[in-house]
Amino acid sequence: MAEEQRSVLLESAAQFPVPHGVTLSYGTAGFRAEASKLSSTLFRAGIIAALRSLKTGCTVGLMITASHNPVGDNGVKIADPDGSMMAQSWEPFAEALANAETPECLVELVFQFVKEEGITFGGERPAEVLLGRDTRPTGEALLEVSKQGIKAIIGVVPLDMGIVTTPQLHWMVWRKNKGLNALELDYFMQLSESFRCLIEMVPEGITKQNFDLRLIVDGANGVGGMKLEQLKELLTGQEIQVRNACKQGLGVLNERVGADYVQKEKVAPCGFGPNDIGLRCASFDGDADRLVYFRISRVNINSVDLVDGDKILSLFALFIKEQLHMLNSGIKDLKNALPASLGIVQTAYANGASTDYLKQLGLEVVFTPTGVKYLHKKAAEYDIGIYFEANGHGTILFSEDFLSKLQEKKNYFAASSAGSDPLKACLRLLAVSSLINQAVGDAISGLLLVEAVLQYMGWTVQNWIELYHDLPSRQLKVKVADRTAVITTDAETQVLRPFGLQEAIDAETAKYDRARCFIRPSGTEDVIRVYAEASYQEAADSLAQSVSQHVDRFLGLQSLK
Ligand code: G16
């Protein structure tokens, strides 16, 4: 078997040589680069996913996407059996394999790793990799290359799920490993049914007369808009209009559209204008794993009132807290109570005002570095863990143990106190757990939960915006000679290397009231990101600007000369 495996690998790897002078790193969410440089990487990603499937004896996922990056880029995200991002302990191997110069080096690395991990080639356990891709024109060819990588590991089978959102693919992997139906139609049915269930339980008094059901969604000219168009046919109690929905010849993926653009630039995406002033609008990113809301500003139609991931998180936290309270209040016999640990996970990008608000609600807030792989892991430590990045990537995780207790409580209350508040709270929490993606942040399921919660509260977008007032902030990008020269610590809030840069940041920050600033190397683009917030906008702008100049002085392109 080993000899056969060796020769299959050698032969197939020879077809996808590593381009000269290209070194790839495993970034925030996998490999990402200009698409023309990615054939060897995608072939190797297929090998990695196949080995992961052999190791776990489960189905894993391989998604071909570069998410918010320009249309000319592409990349790959690998999903573990539980639908979360591939275990971080495998990232060094993935990076070494992607950069192995020759087929012989590649084979050596694979065999050494397989030995260390105790993986058996062609074992008896079923091994399968689900493949998906977004709408990028290079996706189809790169998917075929990944298939070759998967097939180069004997006994592993690729299964092409076609064009899907990233969260759909993660959801399919998660479902399949639970032995449940995992087709796209199952996803649509689960979302539409749990949404209907939540809407049916909107308290009386919040009538359709006083809640504006209209919602306009920017699909980023990507896969998310396309899928939402399909799903909306199954939805009742919602009026969704999708724009930038990836129609042939109309608009370019992520070009002046999409969640990343709206959140970072704080402007309306293409296709939105004065006629939309005051309406509730939402935006997806290119692979629909990020969601932000916005409203075209009445004051300046070129800008938006942004409702970012922090505010989505706050809305969800408020709702979940209320349901937990409702579930347990009025229960005389303590053995019928269902205590739950509720944790909130944010990153350094979270607006300080959101963290203050969440703490005022009495919630436990913890921080991790940027990247869902960190936030998701942390959130999974709680009975209910809510995580969101300010850029709109997040979800609500329910532990299996909590869900089974919730199911028991529901049965108990249904028998003993039909129509009671605790029963309604159980039903709502169960519906939320089935609506919101348990594998990864999902713009489509997040959007439906936002809509259901707003209806439940009877809130306009204005009520939501007023939950707390964001501290003014500014994000900038700085192109540098080598972004890996920046090493950070404390959930990316402090720079360790290069020496002296943190002191320069501290000195700038000290000049402003309630100011905060940090820098970090992006894991998806070749830039250093700078984030600043302060008590007024000009201060945040000027702090971000002066720190960017320090970054440039320490690391900028002129240091190449
Ligand atoms: C990916 C990750 C996110 C992260 C984002 C930006 O998002 O999944 O967790 O926030 O990259 O990362 P960076 O600042 O390192 O570029 P996506 O939606 O681009 O896949």
The confidence band for 307, taking pLDDT boundaries of 50, 70 and 90, is: very high
Token pair 């998410």: residue? 67
Question: Which among 170, 313, 393 is the best mutation to test ligand 1's pocket, defined by most ligand atoms within 8 Å of the CB?
Answer: 393
Q: Do 326 and 391 share a domain, yes or no?
A: yes
The average confidence (pLDDT) of the chain is: 94
The finding on whether 68 has its CB within 6 A of some atom of ligand 1 is: yes
**Nearest in space to 62 (alpha carbons), one of 85, 40, 39, 82:** 85
CATH of the domain at 85: 3.40.120.10
Neighbour-count burial of 8, counting CB atoms closer than 10 A to its CB (0-12 exposed, 13-18 middle, 19+ buried)? middle
pLDDT in the model for residue 418 = 82
Decide: 447 and 190 in contact? Cβ < 8 Å.
Answer: no
Q: Do 140 and 287 share a domain, yes or no?
A: no
pLDDT in the model for residue 210 = 74
The finding on whether 372 has its CB within 6 A of some atom of ligand 1 is: yes
The finding on whether 67 has its CB within 6 A of some atom of ligand 1 is: yes
Does 180 fall in a domain? no
Q: Which domain-ending residue is among 470, 490, 509?
A: 470
Q: Do 238 and 218 share a domain, yes or no?
A: yes
Q: Which domain-ending residue is among 133, 163, 193?
A: 163
Distance CA 77, CA 297 (A): 36
Question: Which among 253, 370, 519, 526 is the best mutation to test ligand 1's pocket, defined by most ligand atoms within 8 Å of the CB?
Answer: 370
The finding on whether 285 has its CB within 6 A of some atom of ligand 1 is: yes
Residues at the binding site for substrate are 389-391, 520-524, 529
Rounded to the nearest angstrom, the distance between the alpha carbon of 514 and the centre of ligand 1 is 27
**Ligand 1, closest atom to CA 28?**
15
The confidence band for 329, taking pLDDT boundaries of 50, 70 and 90, is: confident
Return the minimum-mean-pLDDT range out of 125-134, 136-145, 504-513, 539-548.
125-134
The finding on whether 378 has its CB within 6 A of some atom of ligand 1 is: no
Distance CA 46, CA 314 (A): 38
The finding on whether 391 has its CB within 6 A of some atom of ligand 1 is: yes
Does 172 fall in a domain? no
The finding on whether 393 has its CB within 6 A of some atom of ligand 1 is: yes
b (16+ CB within 10 A) / e for 169-191? bbbbbbbbbeeeebebeebbebb
CATH of the domain at 552: 3.30.310.50
The number of folded domains in the chain is 3
Catalytic residue among 12, 39, 40, 67: 67
Prior bond to 274 cis, omega within 30? no
Rg (CA), the chain: 24
Q: Do 491 and 462 share a domain, yes or no?
A: no
**Ligand 1, closest atom to CA 349?**
10
Region 12-35: what's the mean pLDDT? 94
Distance CA 41, CA 176 (A): 26
Distance CA 537, CA 549 (A): 18
Residues at the binding site are 67, 285, 287, 289, 389-391, 520-524, 529
Asked whether the predicted pLDDT for residue 560 surpasses 50, the reply is: no
Region 430-453: what's the mean pLDDT? 98
Which is higher by pLDDT, 445 or 238? Answer: 445
Q: Which two tokens stand for residue 345?
A: 């996970």
> 96 by DSSP, 3-state: which?
helix
Q: Do 457 and 513 share a domain, yes or no?
A: no
Q: Do 206 and 121 share a domain, yes or no?
A: no
Asked whether the predicted pLDDT for residue 209 surpasses 80, the reply is: no
* Residue having the nearest C-alpha atom to atom 10 of ligand 1: 371
Per residue in 411-438, pLDDT (tens digit) is 999 998 888 999 999 999 999 999 999 9
The question of whether 40 is a catalytic residue gets the answer: no
pLDDT in the model for residue 556 = 82
Q: Do 458 and 496 share a domain, yes or no?
A: no
With a CB cutoff of 8 Å and minimum separation 6, the contacts of 320 are 342, 384, 386, 396, 429, 432
Q: Which domain-ending residue is among 470, 500, 535?
A: 470
**Ligand 1, closest atom to CA 289?**
18
The pTM of this model reads 0.95
**Nearest in space to 168 (alpha carbons), one of 481, 516, 523, 442:** 442
> 241 by DSSP, 3-state: which?
strand
Token pair 């109570």: residue? 337
pLDDT in the model for residue 561 = 40
Does 318 fall in a domain? yes
Does 171 fall in a domain? no
Decide: 416 and 125 in contact? Cβ < 8 Å.
Answer: no
Decide: 258 and 71 in contact? Cβ < 8 Å.
Answer: no
DSSP 314: H
Q: Do 371 and 491 share a domain, yes or no?
A: no
pLDDT in the model for residue 250 = 83
Strands 31-34 and 239-243: unpaired
b (16+ CB within 10 A) / e for 31-66? bbbebeebbbbbbbbbbbbbbbbbbbebbbbbbbbb
Decide: 150 and 156 in contact? Cβ < 8 Å.
Answer: yes
Per residue in 170-204, pLDDT (tens digit) is 999 999 999 999 999 999 999 999 999 999 999 88
Distance CA 384, CA 550 (A): 41
The confidence band for 301, taking pLDDT boundaries of 50, 70 and 90, is: confident
The finding on whether 556 has its CB within 6 A of some atom of ligand 1 is: no
Around Cβ 364, how many Cβ atoms within 10 Å?
12
The finding on whether 389 has its CB within 6 A of some atom of ligand 1 is: yes
Rounded to the nearest angstrom, the distance between the alpha carbon of 337 and the centre of ligand 1 is 39
pLDDT in the model for residue 208 = 53
Return the minimum-mean-pLDDT range out of 167-181, 235-249, 367-381.
235-249
Rounded to the nearest angstrom, the distance between the alpha carbon of 303 and the centre of ligand 1 is 24
How much of the chain exceeds pLDDT 90, in percent? Answer: 88
Question: Which residue range(s) make up the domain with 537?
Answer: 473-560
Q: Do 504 and 437 share a domain, yes or no?
A: no
> 320 by DSSP, 3-state: which?
helix
Does 547 fall in a domain? yes
**Ligand 1, closest atom to CA 523?**
15
Task: Tell me what ipTM this predicted complex has.
Answer: 0.95
* Residue having the nearest C-alpha atom to atom 3 of ligand 1: 371
How much of the chain exceeds pLDDT 70, in percent? Answer: 98
Does 215 fall in a domain? yes
Q: Do 446 and 505 share a domain, yes or no?
A: no
* Residue having the nearest C-alpha atom to atom 4 of ligand 1: 371
Does 176 fall in a domain? no
The finding on whether 63 has its CB within 6 A of some atom of ligand 1 is: no
The confidence band for 455, taking pLDDT boundaries of 50, 70 and 90, is: very high
Q: Do 415 and 317 share a domain, yes or no?
A: yes
**Ligand 1, closest atom to CA 370?**
10
Integer angstrom CA distances of residue 159 from 101, 132, 171, 513: 28, 9, 15, 55
> 188 by DSSP, 3-state: which?
helix
Does 283 fall in a domain? yes
Asked whether the predicted pLDDT for residue 125 surpasses 50, the reply is: yes
Q: Do 464 and 486 share a domain, yes or no?
A: no
**Ligand 1, closest atom to CA 522?**
15
